[in-house]
Structure 1
Amino acid sequence: MKYQARKKAILLLADGTIFHGKAVGREGNAFGEVCFNTGMTGYQEIFTDPSYYGQLMVATNAHIGNYGTNDEEIESDSIKISGLIVKNFSYEYSRVKADGSLQDFLEKHNLLAISDVDTRALVSYIRDNGAMNAVISTEIDDIDKLKKQLSDVPDMNGLELASKVSTKEPYFFGDPNATYKISALDIGIKKNILRNFAKRDAYIKVFPYDTTFAEMSEWGPDGYFLSNGPGDPEPLTQAIATAKEIIAQDLPLFGICLGHQVIALANGISTYKMHNGHRGINHPVKNMITGSGEITSQNHGFAIHKEETEKHPDIEITHLHLNDDTVAGIKLKNKNCFSVQYHPEASPGPNDSTYLFDQFIANIKDAKQPA
């Protein structure tokens, strides 16, 4: 069996802490910011989510790989995480819908993974000390060399990554004969967002991350969308400028995750890097408009400042994260614009928040009505 003769490997954190394990798949080094996801399922969607670009993913579920992989359960065309850290890696799988094993999937995409790590201790350490850069390595004989290489990896704070995952050319998604047309700015878009729009009778044109408002509007869309994505939102100066123009013209605008942060920045609200972020599929959010609770899928390491949002005369907080009271959603009081920090499209995760896509379509429909 492939797993009987595995090479020793380590996870070296930027502060010098070392966790020991065994290599899965290829050998070598994998660098990135170490973070953890608390989801029990959905590992394939997580690995292919562009929002995770440049990160080493710790899976908190004890068994990863036990249901294999399925070619339809992807959120982009490739694995986006830099490396994978697990407790127990399952080489065998049992699932009727599976197309293959997770091991084959990782090897196909040349991803380095490490298993047999005490992930409970690791996650506790990250929670106490915060997210930081790290390296997974099978080259364990020269720790000083690894530390030097790790010190050269840029910090996520201030790092622009949308350009690494965005489409290079515009493309279309959905039925050309659909009722509504949406221009979407791809700063790390997930496929399931496009699926949710398409099944609501929308035809989507997806644009590269640095597209101007003039280019996005030339197509004559009924509404605009700013996607999720990786990295720090503040360096996305063109996306922020594009959002400002859409808002100034009071056109229907919806933002998710990184797009939510871009909308906040376009309105003068600053963002900050969180201690360890929100990543999982069971995060509780309160809808401040209806008073109801939602269980949500989340994946972000940055957030918008709550005090600045509360003081802004033109913005209303629509959703709050119940674990730490961070801002999870906003809307502009006098403009056709709203956004959420979490992922209503899920994949993986619950469907409590899919109504937000209906809300956006309703906003578009209202805007199309003659005055």
Structure 2
Amino acid sequence: MSQISERLMRGVSKPAGAAALLVLEDGAVFRGTSCAAAGEVYGEICFNTSLEGYLEVITDPSYAGQIITMTYPQIGNYGVNREDAQAEVPALRGLVVRDMCATPSNWRSELTLPDYLREHGVVAVEGVDTRALVRHVRDHGAQRAVLSTVDTDEASLLAKVRASESIVGVNLAATVSCDAPHTFAELPASHEFAVAGGAAPRHRVVAYDCGAKRSILENLVRAGCDLTVVPWDTPAADVLAMEPDGVFLSNGPGDPEAVEGTYVQVEQLLGKVPVFGICLGHQMISKAAGADIEKLKFGHRGGNHPVMNLLTGRVEITAQNHGFSLVFPSLGALVPELSGGFKGHEDDLRFWANAHIAPVVQNERFGRIQLTHVNLNDGTAEGIAFLDIPAFSVQYHPEASPGPTDAHYLFTAFTRLMDGRADYLDIDIAEDRLAGWTFGAQQATVPGATASVTEGGR
């Protein structure tokens, strides 16, 4: 082979990685090769169906304690821009892909995904039959798994994973929350080619950081919130002493039952200040109202989940990342006169979507609570609104990082709730979903710069 041919081959080929093994606690084995840091990690196996946004997925703090499988076969094609990351460091335990790209092509790329993962010590494997793996998890449910590049003995790894800790009952939010209160006003300059600057601050908001994604905080800033971020277990009295116009409860990882330090505080905040919760924040509001939470068989993770807004009849395509869900009937008995005359609860909440009714229950602690959103894939609860106090929450991610922008209106709804408007959720989502996008109207700035600086932090 000529020198030119060898050079061309080196440019389009990648060296084979070391052997790697993924073993699930039920004995399923998947072989591949290492494509990032070497090591051995344990966590709950899960999968994400997003077609793009792999960096936002990998850096989402909600994945603490988990080994992520990406269902899209080619990952890393457009490299990494650090300002797209949702946290300073990835919180996931490991990554499984079909094919990892080592030579990305994109004008915003700063480095390759494998180099980024190695930089942060993330163990990853490629060459796995991810279709077979995802089918197995869908059939047999989420479970403990071990990913190793240092031990490739199946029996040894199976014994280890069966002795490993489950994420159930573990407070993972505490591991990814901030250490101290800090202000947040950061809007990445490298996003200015597509997204306009935020509105002038007009609402003081305190955000509980249970593992908040940076894009969620950025959306609050863009909506006009003067934002102070506090740790997951900040006492309600300390929050109220800041005299906020509203309180935001962030997304976060793991079992909500274990995050008692947050939902006990939320119970003291509800009715005293407007409250908005997303994902784990939705579960914190539900727990504060005395609801039960159930673990889903394999969770909702991806950017294509259809959710019906029962108030409008509109269907939103949503981004989701959670493994637990609110049991809506546990909030209280139905109020028939506000629920289409129906007196009994339905386990499959798609009943209410078919009936075009947003049912209302009578809660012992906070009065009437309305079911506002339902997942059309499996009939689980996706949103609730309190009718006698200013509070609402959704299970999915309206910040669209990654994912569709159908649910962007919820940030606007929060500002309207703080304005005291009873019609805060009555928003044309088709118009709102495009709000703030410039689509190239502004010239892109140099990647790495920021519009402002976060004070304090992790």
> What band does the TM-score fall into relative to the shorter chain?
over 0.9
Distance in 2 (alpha carbons) for counterparts of 1:10 and 1:365: 54
Mapped pair 1:339 → 2:393? yes
TM-score (norm 2): 0.78
1:152-231 equivalence runs, <5 A: 152-174=163-185, 178-231=201-254
SS in structure 2 at match of 1:263: helix
Distance in 1 (alpha carbons) for counterparts of 2:172 and 2:48: 20
> Which of 152-161 and 65-74 deviates more?
152-161
Cα RMSD for the two superposed structures: 1.6
* Counterpart position of 1:285: 307
Distance in 1 (alpha carbons) for counterparts of 2:89 and 2:401: 16
Q: Shift in Å at residue 144 of structure 1?
A: 3.2
Distance in 2 (alpha carbons) for counterparts of 1:219 and 1:116: 52
* Counterpart position of 2:196: none
Structure 1, unmatched stretches of 5+, are none
* Counterpart position of 1:39: 50
- Which letter maps to 1:232? D
Distance in 1 (alpha carbons) for counterparts of 2:207 and 2:57: 21
Q: Shift in Å at residue 3 of structure 1?
A: 3.5
Identity %: 41
* Counterpart position of 2:428: none
Contact 2:201 2:225 in 1 (8 A): yes
Distance in 2 (alpha carbons) for counterparts of 1:22 and 1:142: 14
* Counterpart position of 1:318: 372
1:86-105 equivalence runs, <5 A: 86-105=97-116
SS in structure 2 at match of 1:72: helix
- Which letter maps to 1:55? Q
* Counterpart position of 2:319: 297
> Which of 238-247 and 222-231 deviates more?
238-247
1:15-34 equivalence runs, <5 A: 15-34=26-45
* Counterpart position of 1:328: 382
SS in structure 2 at match of 1:159: coil
Q: Shift in Å at residue 310 of structure 1?
A: 6.5
SS in structure 1 at match of 2:133: helix
Contact 2:183 2:228 in 1 (8 A): yes
Contact 1:50 1:165 in 2 (8 A): yes
Contact 2:289 2:331 in 1 (8 A): no
Contact 1:27 1:112 in 2 (8 A): yes
Q: Shift in Å at residue 141 of structure 1?
A: 4.4
Mapped pair 1:122 → 2:133? yes
Contact 2:290 2:331 in 1 (8 A): no
Mapped pair 1:257 → 2:257? no
Distance in 1 (alpha carbons) for counterparts of 2:76 and 2:271: 48
SS in structure 2 at match of 1:338: strand
Q: Deviations over 1:186-227 (max 9, x none)?
A: 111111111111112211110001111111111111100110
| Largest Rg, 1 or 2 | 2
Contact 1:279 1:299 in 2 (8 A): yes
* Counterpart position of 2:296: 274
Q: Deviations over 1:292-351 (max 9, x none)?
A: 010000000000113324733121100000000100000111110000000011100111
Distance in 1 (alpha carbons) for counterparts of 2:384 and 2:155: 46
SS in structure 2 at match of 1:366: coil
Contact 2:177 2:211 in 1 (8 A): yes
Contact 1:309 1:317 in 2 (8 A): no
Q: 1:237 to 1:140 in 2, by over 3 A?
A: closer
Contact 1:173 1:205 in 2 (8 A): yes
Distance in 2 (alpha carbons) for counterparts of 1:254 and 1:158: 25
Distance in 2 (alpha carbons) for counterparts of 1:105 and 1:339: 34
SS in structure 2 at match of 1:76: coil
Equivalent in 402, 412, 417 of residue 358 of structure 1: 412
Distance in 2 (alpha carbons) for counterparts of 1:115 and 1:180: 46
Mapped pair 1:77 → 2:88? yes
Distance in 1 (alpha carbons) for counterparts of 2:93 and 2:14: 21
Q: 1:340 to 1:279 in 2, by over 3 A?
A: same
Q: Shift in Å at residue 28 of structure 1?
A: 2.0
Distance in 1 (alpha carbons) for counterparts of 2:16 and 2:314: 52
Distance in 2 (alpha carbons) for counterparts of 1:141 and 1:156: 24
- Which letter maps to 2:115? D
Contact 2:21 2:152 in 1 (8 A): no
Structure 2, unmatched stretches of 5+, are 1-9, 187-199, 334-360, 363-367, 422-458
Distance in 1 (alpha carbons) for counterparts of 2:14 and 2:67: 22
